[in-house]
Amino acid sequence: MGTGRLYTAVAVGGFRRYATYRTATAAGVFTNTVFGLILAYVFMALWDEKPHLGGYDQAQALTYVWLSQALLMAMATMGGGFEDELIERIRTGDIAIDLYRPADLQLWWLSQDAGRAMFHLLGRGAVPLAFGALFFELALPADPLTWIAFLIAVALGTVVSFSLRYLVALSAFWLLDGAGVAQMSMIAGVFCSGMLLPLNVFPGALGEVVRALPWSSLVQGPADVLLGTADPLGTYVFQASWALGLLALGRLIQSVATRRVVVQGG
Amino acid sequence: MIAGMWIRSTMAYRASFVMTTFGNFAATALDFVAVLLMFSRVDRIGGYSLPEVAFLYGVSATSFGITDLVVGSMDRLGRRVRDGTLDTLLVRPVPVLAQVAADRFALRRLGRVTQGLLVLAYAIAVLDIDWTPLRLLMVPLMLLCGAAIFAAVFVAGGAFQFIAQDASEVQNSFTYGGTTLLQYPPTVFAKDLVRGVTFVLPLAFVNWLPGLYVLGRPYPLDLPTWIAFTPPLIAAGCCALAGIAWRAGLRSYRSTGS
């Protein structure tokens, strides 16, 4: 089996695995829609008070709300993808078996996570966005090219998200219990990705800082490409640089960990 | 006793306990950070000032925190129904509801209560309220009745999981979604939504209706003044209904047999 086909198969496996839980997906769609609804009203009140807050008009702000709900699971901004499983494998020592497999550990999990992200984009993203478009005045582009540009930004964003969570999981080699780090990473993810509030609404220097951090690739970046408020190429370069840098760091830490750390339970 | 067992088990890893309690505090504080960020750019939201929103937020977050501390493990019930481990609870001589509530009882959830109380204390300190005995009494009453109403929602959600085993997330939209909704003033939301959380799922009685009395603000939907004093009745009613739903759910339980 060629390596390309192997990782495609892993990605398809990841997609199917999440597609199994249909009731849970429906329940999740319902929850995303309810939260989207609450946030939409809060944002309307905000933009009524100050039109063009953060450079968005009200329709753009509402689009942002529904986009962020649609991307929540695909981007795993609150965690909850492969990392829990990887942490568990590191803790129990099963990781030793993975390391003997003729597949690259990082690429394996990346493919699996790509499948997961793809499922969540379709399964949990499309419906809340459609609901938002039906009941609110959104600023969705009619141009298919903008949508394609948006999807590329989403794809790059999922890689950045993966590389961040891979680092979180690797910390378990030293800490064994990944709960604390996972929680800190969840807080950073929600705060710095733009899930909480669009990053261009953050005041002053704080806004500049959060926009320069990798998390802005998860929600703010793709949203701005779709809303036409950011240059797609610039966004891609930003996302790709973070993705490559963090993936390389992950590789480095992984090699240190596997060489120096005694595997549990062997 | 079961709760005590879980406390002892978490206390075995003290550093981890401190970290997760702080993490819980920080994670729930993000909601209020969002409110603060909003107020860094605007003076009012839905006509309410920052201390007023903080008051509504503090009551909602504290009462939800109390509920979460006591029955917050309810969303694990779906998993227990799925994998059949609920059977172990059925054979013990303790009410199943008490056992499910104490399942994985986590003292770290104190982080949420602390955060809510801090915001509430800030709001009360800054707000210029004309304190009458009635208004003063209303604050603890709100927290207790609010917690009872949220608890009823949690228990009803638990009962629902006997039927829809995989749908614990639906419950999240009413519990976590409910507390998020109540953190903002009712003037922000569409009339129909406010009607829904007043007459259908009576979340408005947690903090909006009694809270607006304390703040001296007009009620939504032109409701009469005495409605501010009804939360104890509403809370009792909700708990009774949730209890009936729970019994019905428990009776319909079929073990997986595994």
Q: Chain A: nearest CA to B102, how far in angstroms?
A: 21
Q: Which residues of chain B have a CB within 8 Å of the CB of A53? A: 41-42
Tracing tokens 């319902």 back to the chain, one arrives at: A30
Tokens, residue A161: 């998200």
The confidence score (pLDDT) of residue A266 equals: 44
Q: Which residues of chain B have a CB within 8 Å of the CB of A28? A: 169
pLDDT at A265 over 60: no
Q: With helix as H, strand as E and coil as C, how does A51-95 read?
A: CCHHHCCHHHHHHHHHHHHHHCCCCCCCCCCCHHHHHHHHHHCCH
Per the DSSP assignment, residues forming a β-bridge with B48 are: B45
- Of the candidates B30, B173, B187, the beta carbon closest to that of A31 is on B173
Q: Which residues of chain B have a CB within 8 Å of the CB of A23? A: 164-167
The confidence score (pLDDT) of residue B13 equals: 66
Nearest-by-CA chain A residue for B13: A177
The predicted-structure confidence for A39-53, as pLDDT tens digits, reads as follows 999 999 999 999 988
Global pTM value: 0.88
Tracing tokens 């995303």 back to the chain, one arrives at: A32
Per the DSSP assignment, residues forming a β-bridge with B45 are: B48
Tell me how far apart the alpha carbons of residues B169 and B160 are, in angstroms, rounded to a whole number.
Answer: 11
The predicted-structure confidence for B130-173, as pLDDT tens digits, reads as follows 888 888 999 999 999 999 999 999 888 888 887 776 777 788 88
Over residues A256-265, the mean pLDDT reads 68
Over residues B104-117, the mean pLDDT reads 80
* Contact criterion met (CB below 8 Å) for B35 and B183: yes
Q: Chain B: nearest CA to A34, how far in angstroms?
A: 6
pLDDT averaged over chain A?
89
Q: Give which of A49, A73, A78, A185 to mutate to test B binding, by max B Cβ within 10 Å.
A: A49
Inter-chain residue contact B34 with A197, CB threshold 8 Å = yes
Work out the percent of chain B whose per-residue pLDDT is above 90: 39
Q: Chain B: nearest CA to A142, how far in angstroms?
A: 29
Over residues A92-108, the mean pLDDT reads 83
The number of CA neighbours under 13 Å toward the Cβ of A53 is: 27
Q: Chain B: nearest CA to A27, how far in angstroms?
A: 5
The predicted-structure confidence for B44-64, as pLDDT tens digits, reads as follows 998 999 999 999 999 999 999
Please give the ipTM for the structure prediction: 0.86
Tell me how far apart the alpha carbons of residues A248 and A48 are, in angstroms, rounded to a whole number.
Answer: 45
Q: Scan residues 127-186 of B and list those with Cβ closer than 8 Å to A.
A: 164-170, 172-173, 177, 180-181, 184
Q: Which residues of chain A have a CB within 8 Å of the CB of B173? A: 30-31, 33-35
Q: Which residues of chain B have a CB within 8 Å of the CB of A184? A: 23
* Residue from A86, A102, A97, A112 nearest A171 by CA: A86
The predicted-structure confidence for B194-207, as pLDDT tens digits, reads as follows 999 998 999 999 99
The predicted-structure confidence for A13-27, as pLDDT tens digits, reads as follows 888 888 888 888 888
The confidence score (pLDDT) of residue A14 equals: 85
The confidence score (pLDDT) of residue A67 equals: 94
Q: Which residues contact A165 (CB under 8 A, 6 or more apart)?
A: A76, A79, A81, A82, A83, A113, A185
Tell me how far apart the alpha carbons of residues A80 and A91 are, in angstroms, rounded to a whole number.
Answer: 17
The predicted-structure confidence for B161-175, as pLDDT tens digits, reads as follows 877 767 777 888 888
The predicted-structure confidence for B71-100, as pLDDT tens digits, reads as follows 877 767 777 777 777 777 777 777 777 777
